[in-house]
Structure 1
Amino acid sequence: MPTRPPARNPQRRAADRSDASLASLPKSPALEIYDTTLRDGAQAEDVSFSVDDKIRIAQKLDDLGVHFIEGGWPGANPKDIEFFRIIKTIPLQHASVVAFGSTRKASNPVDKDPTIQALLSADTQTITLFGKSWTFQVTDALGIALGKNLELIKDSIEHLKSKGRRVFYDAEHFFDGYKADPDYALKTIRAAVAAGAERIILCDTNGGSMPWEVGEICRAVQAECSIPLGIHAHNDCEMAVANSLMAIETGVTQVQGTINGIGERCGNANLTSIVPNLQLKMKRPGLGDRLGRLKDVSGFVTEIANLMPNKHQPYVGDAAFAHKGGVHIHAVLKNPATYEHIDPAMVGNRQRMLVSDYAGRSGILEKVESYGLTIAKDHSKVAELVETLKERENQGYQFEGAEGSFELLMRKAMGNHTPSFQLLGFRVVVERKQDDGTSSSEAMVTVKVDETVAHAQGTGAGPVNALDHALRKSLERFYPELREVKLLDYKVRVLSANRGTESKVRVLIESGDHKDKWGTVGVSENIMEASWQALADSIEYKLLARDRSSDQSSP
């Protein structure tokens, strides 16, 4: 088997080639990473952060090294007011917390405007204020004269500055506004600069601009604006990352976005793609050596937001550096640069070899060795394992999300596994009571451990839950460590829907204990039989410690 490089150089040949056109870029000013996950990200469908959630995410973002954390709109809801009250008591090492809000209402004096007062009450050193840049928004949304809008921008910023605050100005709908009336869009920016804004953020609020438009407009604004610019892009055309990078290439020095790109409608610019692109591809300063924490922060926000992880997300997704095709795996084992554009560790990710009938010998050997086993490349067991794998996948098994079942399959094929128990039989009864509409499930399991036969009965919310409880009860007196195991997730996929209720199903189960998680799989026309297979594998995997302790050389 080819020897893998002991440590991969971050500047690998493939990366050098992709970055060659950027090598001649002039030395650029430092970038500011501005995170708006807690405000714009919280506006995403299916996302609702508690105050505690926001505090925990803010601490993670600070640890990541972002420069600004937009905490919310203190005048909009009590939750954001509470966040700003608490975050003041928590020392942050790297980030400044920013309050967000709008310019005053046309009917309110600036010193009496509730939004302006709430922004000041948040007690942040920096405030991001947004105002209208598009004539259409001014006349149709606000219903005021164009001149009045300029007055609102000027009054609001001047008042906040007079109170000792640093002001960033979000030019909302700027790109649409510039395309409709460039003279007026630029007037709004001039008003903000004259009033004392320290940053002008150009916003593609509707997310409809193209990268070439963003580049052209950013250059035009830089010719007119004497203070640093930022970019705030939405993803309605799948262009938020590209638009942000284009803006930075023209000289914009602040980039705004959210972790994992969460946000209203189609989301915001994704910082987990933007930051590594800036640092690794464009050679721009970003998070420095903290970039390796990116995947951890991405997963943390996903978990707190109670969202399903996007495994195909660039850089930080579980599949970002996963290899399935045999040709790919064979090449990557020789040199990772053949099919990986960066070292996964640079963003806190890892290389994975997926187990499937596409993998071939190279992939199987890689998997065998990853479990601490050694076997000769030309050993007959390797060919047998490949054929067994192909036969199982032809039946409908999928091992990409069930590596617990794969390790058991591998060890059985190699003769390295002694079953912990033998199933003698199980029965499941589901009863529904028509009078009150309730249902109950009961399972009975009979197993054999060595020469001892054990029976157990379990009840549960459903038949699989009941079967799980009965299996545990029957085995826990032999294997007390099974009390640690919890069933974390259960999924069913119909494999042949054209056969109706006779269709074959695949059951994927995720289990875990206090230190590990593992997936197992079962396939059958009978959903309880498929569930049993996955449950039994889950228990066997937990008990593999005995087999692992006896692993030695190849058979």
Structure 2
Amino acid sequence: MIQIYDTTLRDGNQSEEISFSTDDKLRIATKLDELGVAYIEGGWPGANPKDKRFFQEIRQYALSHARIAAFGSTHAAKTSADKDTNLTELIASQAPALTIFGKTWDIHVTDALKIPLERNLELIAHSLRFLRPHAAELFYDAEHFFDGFKANPAYALACLRTAHEAGADVLVLCDTNGGCLPHEIAAAVDAVRRELPDAKLGIHTHNDSELAVANSIVAVQHGAIQVQGTINGYGERCGNANLCSVIANLELKLGMPCLPEGRLCRLTDTAEFVADVANLRSFARQPFTGKSAFTHKGGVHVAAVRKNPRTYEHIPPEAVGNRQRIVLSDQSGQSNILYKARQYGFELDKGDPFVLELLTELKNREDAGYEYAAAEASYELLVNRVLGRARTYFRIAAIRILDSLFTEDGEPFTEATVMLRVGGLLEHTAATGRGPVNAMDNALRKGLEKFYPALAEMQLLDFKVRVLSRPKNGNDTSGTASFVRVLIESGDRKARWTTVGVSYNIIEASRQALEDSINYKLFKDDQRKLTQAIREL
């Protein structure tokens, strides 16, 4: 089995957008253990209090599969291994696996450390021998190995030989600058295997040439038994090897197990979980685990996958815990409409007048700037309204927005007044907010929650505005007169959904998206109640 060594908590945390707290690290570690990775690198126990606390607290967790690894470096050149704080903190972490990195590229030794090449070999040997009695497993990360091998192969190999003889269980070859090509990785790994045939090798690649995954796989094909990387490819600069793609390719394409049996289907959930904890939006087009990885939009594609998913899907999406999606746009054909209608519980046939009407409506709306591929909730409402299956929960009679840009406390002030018709009653209310959209949202909720209390659990999660600069009806719609598309993502305890609005007035576009979002929440709640009632009959 290929060992998966996850360094999301250390290398991934070095991404400029990410700063994991100790609690974040503990949550991710338990998720990675559920996925079944072999090693979870927690960080530098000697570098900061946050990482030190992680190693103290993770000892209270009963992990079922993964082993915790602590990370550090060879000892400082001006001291000895037994007096080096970095190494003593590694031992104090009580992590079952210890990983240290050392210089392998001669220019780093002479120019960065400013020590003789022979002294660097001593640092490697002394550090590993000092740690060896305290580590169940001991790994050596050969920093900049591939660049060092190209510049001075004899010295790079000497560093590995020294580490191997000093007791390292795995020699991890690092493409630290991320600039190598697959054929260079293959040649270097082959050379190491010839030089040290009994050594176990690992691979650690960065993505600066967008080849980290390919380079990792090539290294495995040439004999590496351990792959280091991060979930979603997080990491410094352009990131590390994306373990989501590495694991899926090795298991599904090369038949090389990386995870315990039955765990691969947790991959997508793990990728999304780590993104949420990192407070980053998931990358939709990420292979295997992205929302768009098995999404079909063009009519020809949809017609084919409805007959046989293999026509446009290289693996079953369920294998990695993902799912097939059909989205709608001005490129859609009747197959898209039929597929989505079936999703919503309608069995329709090609040529059905409703299908043709809906297809025409969809194309006209997309031409006006609506984007239903990214706002499926608005589309589902559209379908159900045309079929007469969606109730009219409320009608907006009027909205007025008042903005005061300057007040005595220096904060902008916005008030929204709304008039709503609900079940024959006219509700007139007002609310303030942080800007016009927030004020309008607050006023709508204030007027509706007395009729629909469940709206209190709904919240706005994301708000996007896109300028649509194009002529419309012969009028100038460029610059500040442009039409805009507003996408609003909302959610409750059960689901998330996205709605869309389009107008030359950003407040009106926001109103459309907000109204759809509220209606969708009420519509889905009604559907759930109906389903539950049927089950109880």
Q: Same fold (TM over 0.5)?
A: yes
Residues 1:267 and 2:246 aligned together = no
Does structure 1 retain, via aligned residues, the 8 Å contact 2:466–2:484?
A: yes
Contact 1:429/1:443 (<8 A) preserved: yes
The residue number in structure 1 matching 2:107 is 136
Mapped to 1, the partners of 2:387 and 2:87 lie a distance apart of: 71
TM-score, scaled to structure 1: 0.92
Residue 289 of structure 1 aligns to a residue in which SS? coil
Pairing partner for 2:514 from 514, 525, 535: 535
Residue 202 (structure 2) aligns with: 230
1:91, distance to aligned residue in structure 2 (A): 1.0
Matches for 1:388-537 after TM superposition, within 5 Å: 388-433=361-406, 435-496=408-469, 499-537=478-516
Q: Distance in 2 between matches of 1:375 and 1:547?
A: 20
Indicate the SS of the match to 2:33: helix
Q: Which residue in 2 is equivalent to 1:331? A: 304
* Pairs within 5 Å for 1:300-339: 300-339=273-312
Residues of 2 paired with 1:177 and 1:546: CA distance? 64
Supply the distance in 1 between the matched residues of 2:530 and 2:52 (Cα, whole angstroms): 59
Structure 1 residues 175-186: aligned runs within 5 Å: 175-186=146-157
> Which runs of 5 or more structure 1 residues have no equivalent in the other structure?
1-29
Cα distance in 2, alignment partners of residues 435 and 319 from structure 1: 48
Structure-2 separation of matches of 1:417 and 1:185: 69
The offset of 1:547, in angstroms, is: 6.8
CA contact (8 A) 2:378 2:499 kept: yes
Alignment-mate amino acid for residue 479 of structure 2 = G
SS state at 2:263 partner = helix
Offset of 1:546 from its aligned partner?
A: 4.3
Per mean C-alpha deviation after superposition, the further-off stretch among 294-303 and 399-408 is 399-408
1:392 shift after superposition = 0.6
Letter in 1 for 2:66: A
Moved more, 447-456 or 364-373: 447-456
The 8 Å contact of residues 458 and 469 in structure 1, kept in 2 or not, is answered as yes
SS at match of 1:232: strand
8 Å Cα contact 1:207/1:235 also seen in 2: yes
- How has the CA–CA distance of structure 1 residues 480 and 124 changed in structure 2, closer, same or farther, with 3 Å as cutoff? closer
Q: Which moved more, 1:31-40 or 1:537-546?
A: 537-546
CA distance in 1, matches of 2:117, 2:452: 76
2:184 to 203, 206, 213: 213
C-alpha change, 1:147 and 1:477, in structure 2 (3 Å) is same
SS in 1 for 2:53: helix
SS in 1 for 2:478: helix
1:235, CA displacement in angstroms? Answer: 0.7
Q: Deviations over 1:367-408 (max 9, x none)?
A: 111012223333211100000001111110011121111011
Q: Distance in 1 between matches of 2:103 and 2:396?
A: 70
- 1:204 aligns with 175
Q: Which residue of 1 aligns with 2:217?
A: 245
How far does residue 31 in structure 1 lie from its aligned partner after superposition?
1.0
Shift of 1:125: 2.1
Give the superposition deviation at 1:549: 7.3
Query: Is this contact kept in 2: 1:68–1:97, CA < 8 A?
Result: yes
The structure showing larger relative contact order (alpha-carbon pairs under 8 Å, at least 6 residues apart) is 1
Per-residue CA shift, 1:91-149, capped at 9, x if unaligned? Answer: 11101101111111111011111111111111112211111111111101110001111
Check conservation: 1:459, 1:470, Cα contact below 8 A: yes
CA distance in 1, matches of 2:133, 2:399: 76
Deviation at 1:196, TM superposition (A): 1.1
Q: Please say if residues 316 and 349 of structure 1, whose CA atoms lie closer than 8 Å, have aligned partners that are also in contact.
A: yes
Map 1:361-376; keep pairs closer than 5 Å.
Answer: 361-376=334-349
Distance 2:424 2:215 in 1: 68
Label 1:163 to 1:413 Cα distance change in 2 as closer, same or farther (>3 A).
closer
* 3-state secondary structure, aligned to 2:119: helix
Aligned pairs, how many? 522
Secondary structure of the equivalent of 2:287? coil
Q: Helix, strand or coil for the counterpart of 1:507? A: strand
Q: 2:251 aligns with which of 259, 275, 279?
A: 279
Q: Is the Cα–Cα contact under 8 Å of residues 405 and 537 in structure 1 kept in the other structure?
A: yes
Q: Which amino acid aligns with 1:238?
A: E
Q: Verify the 8 A CA contact 2:97 2:135 in the aligned structure 1.
A: no
Contact 2:407 2:413 in 1 (8 A): no
Aligned to 1:24: none
Q: 2:271 aligns with which of 286, 293, 298?
A: 298
Which one is further off, 239-248 or 118-127?
118-127
| Cα distance, 1:164 vs structure 2 | 5.0
Q: Is the Cα contact below 8 Å between 1:417 and 1:547 reproduced in 2?
A: no
In the aligned structure 2, how far is the partner of 1:548 from the partner of 1:103?
Answer: 59
| Residues 418 and 547 in structure 1, CA contact (< 8 A), matched pair in contact too | no
Amino acid of the structure 2 residue aligned with 1:260: N
- Could you tell me how far 1:418 is from its partner in structure 2? 3.2
CA contact (8 A) 1:66 1:95 kept: yes
Percent identity over the alignment? 54
2:235 matched to 1:256? no
Partner SS, residue 457 of structure 1: strand
Please tell me whether the aligned partners of residues 38 and 67 of structure 2 are also in contact (alpha carbons under 8 angstroms).
Answer: yes
For the 8 Å contact 1:416–1:547, the answer to whether it is kept is no
Corresponding position: 1:147 with 2:118? yes
Question: Which amino acid is 1:321 matched to?
Answer: F
Determine if contact 2:400/2:417 at 8 Å carries over to the other structure: yes
Aligned-partner SS, 1:367: helix
CA distance in 2: counterparts of 1:235 and 1:299, whole angstroms: 20
Q: Any idea what SS the aligned residue of 2:431 has?
A: strand
Question: In 1, distance between residues paired with 2:500 and 2:186?
Answer: 50
Matched, 1:65 2:27: no
1:20-50 alpha-carbon deviations (Å, 9 max, x no partner) = xxxxxxxxxx211111111111111111000
Which amino acid letter does the alignment assign opposite residue 242 of structure 2? Answer: N
1:351 maps onto 2:324 in alignment: yes
Contact 1:384 1:413 in 2 (8 A): no
Q: Structure 1 residues 125 and 416, CA, compared in 2 at 3 Å: closer, same or farther?
A: closer
Looking at structure 2, the residues matched to 485 and 113 of structure 1 have their Cα atoms a distance apart, in angstroms, of 54
Instruction: Give the alignment partner of residue 190 of structure 1, picking from 148, 154, 161.
Output: 161
Structure 2 Cα separation of the partners of residues 239 and 482 of structure 1? 47
Letter in 1 for 2:71: F
Q: Distance in 2 between matches of 1:332 and 1:255?
A: 34
1:56 and 2:27 are equivalent in the alignment? yes
Range with bigger deviation, 88-97 or 369-378 = 369-378
Matched, 1:378 2:351: yes
Distance in 2 separating the partners of 1:64 and 1:115: 30
Question: Secondary structure at the residue paired with 2:421?
Answer: strand
Instruction: Report the Cα distance in structure 2 between the residues aligned to 1:169 and 1:458, rounded to whole angstroms.
Output: 61
Q: Which residue of 2 aligns with 1:41?
A: 12
User: What is the rounded CA distance, in whole Å, between the counterparts of 2:129 and 2:232 in structure 1?
Assistant: 35
1:416 Cα offset (Å): 2.5
CA distance in 2, matches of 1:413, 1:356: 18
Amino acid at match of 2:350: K
